Amino acid sequence: MPELIEISYMLLIFLLIGAAPLNIFKSGSNNLYFNLIINLNFLLLFSILPFQIQKYSVYLLFILFLLSIKNYYSFNDKIKTHKHRLILIILTFLLISVQVASELELGWDAKFFWHNKSLFYSQNKTFLELSEYIYNDYHPHFGSYLWAFFRNFSINGYEYVGRLFYVFFYLIGIHFISNNIFKDKIHNAILFIFLIILTEKYTYFSGLQEILIFSTLIFISKFILIFLEERKFIYLFLITLCMNLLIWYKAEGIAYASICFIIINLISNLNLKFRIYFNFLFLFFIFLKSLIYNFFQIKINAQPYFLEYLLKLDLERLTYKLYNIFIYLSFYSLKNIILLLVPIIIILNYKKIFKDEYFRLVFVFFILNIIFIFSAYIFREMDVVFSLSTTIDRIVFSSSGFYLVFLIAQAKNYLSKKFQ
Amino acid sequence: MKKIIFKNKKIITFLTIFTLILLLFLKTSFFKNLINILKFTENERIERIYGYCGGESIGYLKYLKNKYKIKTNPRVLNYEHTPPTNWSIYVAGAKDYNENQLILLNYPGQEIDIKLHHYKYNFYEFKDPRHYSKMFKSLKKIKINDFIEPNIEVEFYIKDGSDKLSMLENIQIVKDQETNDYIMNQNLDVFKFKEKRFFLKFNNLKKEKKIIATLENKYNLNNYKVLDKYKNCYFIE
């Protein structure tokens, strides 16, 4: 029973992160998603400052609490009409959280470094001390920081409580893309639960960071879709904030952020002012990260990619690697239905590439994503079979978040044509 | 008529959402997990998942941390190949590996026998070399079934990430007439394995044979002070 109370209490805290500080949109209904992205960027900033979590987290939450009360009263009527959404989130959060609390087991990399990195924050250390940790250079820290930040609110100090935020973030991402697809609320609820059944697995919440990339890519994809419809800069701004989060979760986050950067620049008739602001903001975030890494003397790239290795890569080795990557990628794409459906839909509707802007962007994202996956294994100095067998399922999963919005849009188009 | 269709639609929608919720309950094994968290405390669940002294042995590590108020990061060596275990007692910022203290999990004794797996021709694979080289100092001897030659030439190969075999060393080993073992005493540290595959080529071996290698442990308990012991898990200094 105490653990169920703890899970419910944590949900309230997570909701605070979405309910405050801003009311960007008068409708009130979408603020949860936008605030979540904004607040995560604030937390990212806090994670680098030389303050211990315990010293500021309660105050931070208290301010968010006051702001969310203000927001609640200013949009009272609208919030009441969205109660059913909250019920769905509460129900699914409860189901997955109980699973996390029961299964408990951490993933291999989580045991290797993600959990230890989060302990730096939990044990009153800051980014400065973390930068001296021997495994810190491999990947950034933000996912571990979130783990520690929310674990800090646990009544009984349970480790898994911090990981429940990953569940919350994932659910909000899925909710964001399924909440206004159909006019009927029940149909949206059906879609929401269906998507969870399709994508949920305990291992994604075992302390590994792919779920954060997956969820953030969901947000980016949806923001792109809304931007193409409304052409408001606020969505480009939110995309940039999401890209900033990506580069702080994991080393490969920079690849996904760069792919997003390319596809946004490929949007036709993009307002020049928007283009300049967007490019400047993203490059600023990249520059800021390099500056921080430089200041704390963290290696920008500690992954096993070396120039000497590239130079000695002969045709025989290259063919061997390409063959294995192709086999493993095909097999894991068959296991992950999302990545399997994307090329099928693109091939069946190839004419849309020239007509539909979002379709074209997803097509480019897909091509660049495949190029990234191949390059990541070709240029890595490691046994390629070992490397593929231990990581490709996660790489396939993390990028598939981007395609969910696309699949829903295509399915909706197909259904509306069929029932016209 | 319209009313009936509308009613049917409502029933179908209700049934769909009910089925999906039921599927989600089943997929997340909700009731099994709920009973698990109501019945067992977090510590008990950790022991059930990771083992006390066996497998990852997190239960024993947590017990040691509480009993000895360990404030450093002692080296934890698990003779069973599992994911890293030191996360469960990790002290952030403390020196990594206090060389004075050592925790040995699933300690198998001074020597262990492992089977070499036939790869092709007269190549035999020594699986998991990186893991073994952390805990065993040498390949002490080899037993080859149904093989009577007094000596044999052995070549050591590693296979890199691009499937290329490269020879590291070759030695002649001689049969001990009393035990019928071929004495090798090959130091494992010299090979620097990383994630590479490791092979032994037995040059005058014509047919596939059953080959057992004996590894010699780096850690002899007689050379250490045992601070705590539970079954074959040790805390030593």
What interface predicted TM-score (ipTM) does this complex get? 0.88
Inter-residue contact A310 to A318 (CB < 8 Å) = no
> Given CB atoms, is A53 within the 8 Å cutoff of chain B?
no
The pLDDT of residue A80: 54
Per-residue CA distances from B135 to A170, B108, B129, B221 (Å): 41, 11, 10, 13
**For testing contact with chain B, the best of A95, A309, A314 (most B CBs within 10 A):** A95
Residues of chain A with pLDDT under 50: 77
Residue with tokens 């409502």: B10
For an interface test with B, the pick among A4, A128, A129, A383 (most B C-beta atoms closer than 10 Å) comes out as A383
Determine the Cα–Cα distance for residues A196 and B25; give it in Å rounded to an integer: 11
DSSP notation for A276-313:
HHHHHHHHHHHHHHHHHHHHTT--S--SS--HHHHHT-
Cross-chain Cβ contact A103/B33 below 8 Å: yes
Answer yes or no: do A320 and B90 touch at CB < 8 A.
no
- Determine whether the interchain pair A105/B163 forms a contact, defined as Cβ–Cβ distance below 8 Å: no
Q: How far apart are CA B171 and CA B155, in angstroms?
A: 6
Residue B34 and residue A102: Cβ atoms within 8 Å?
yes
Quick one: pLDDT at residue A76? 52
Nearest by CB: B37 against A101, A133, A187: A101
Q: What are the boundaries of each domain within chain B?
A: 2-36, 46-107+221-236, 111-217
Contacts B85 to A, Cβ<8 Å? 111
pLDDT, residue B223, reads 92
Pick the closest to residue A100 from A32, A3, A176 (CA basis): A3
Could you read off the pLDDT of B46-94 as tens digits, one per residue?
999 999 999 999 999 999 999 999 888 899 999 999 999 999 999 998 8
- Distance in angstroms (rounded) separating the CA atoms of residues A33 and A234: 13
DSSP string, B99-135: EEEEEEES---SEEEEEEEEEETTEEEE-SHHHHHHH
Which of B9, B29, B32, B37 to mutate to test binding with chain A, by most A CBs within 10 Å of its CB? B37
User: Closest-CA residue in chain A for B196?
Assistant: A383
- Which residue in A130, A29, A20 sits closest to A67, CA to CA? A20
Q: Is the pLDDT of residue B165 over 70?
A: yes
pLDDT of residue A22: 61
Does the CB of A419 have a partner CB in chain B at under 8 Å?
A: no
Among A95, A129, A160, whose Cβ lies nearest the Cβ of B25?
A: A95
Interface contact B162-A102, CB threshold 8 A: no
Query: Would you state the pLDDT for residue B196?
Result: 75
Closest by CA to A11, choosing from A64, A89, A106, is A89
Please determine, for residue B6, whether its predicted confidence score (pLDDT) is greater than 70: no
Q: Pull the structure tokens for residue B130.
A: 């990186």
Question: Phi and psi dihedrals of A173, rounded to 5?
Answer: -60, -50
**For residue range B188-228, what is the model confidence (pLDDT) as tens digits?**
888 887 767 899 999 888 888 899 999 999 999 999 999 99
pLDDT tens digits, one per residue of A135-186:
888 899 999 999 999 999 998 889 999 999 999 999 999 999 998 888 888 8
Smallest CA–CA distance, residue B163 to chain A, in Å, is 7
pTM: 0.91
Q: How far is A419 from chain B (nearest CA, A)?
A: 14
Q: What length does chain B have?
A: 237
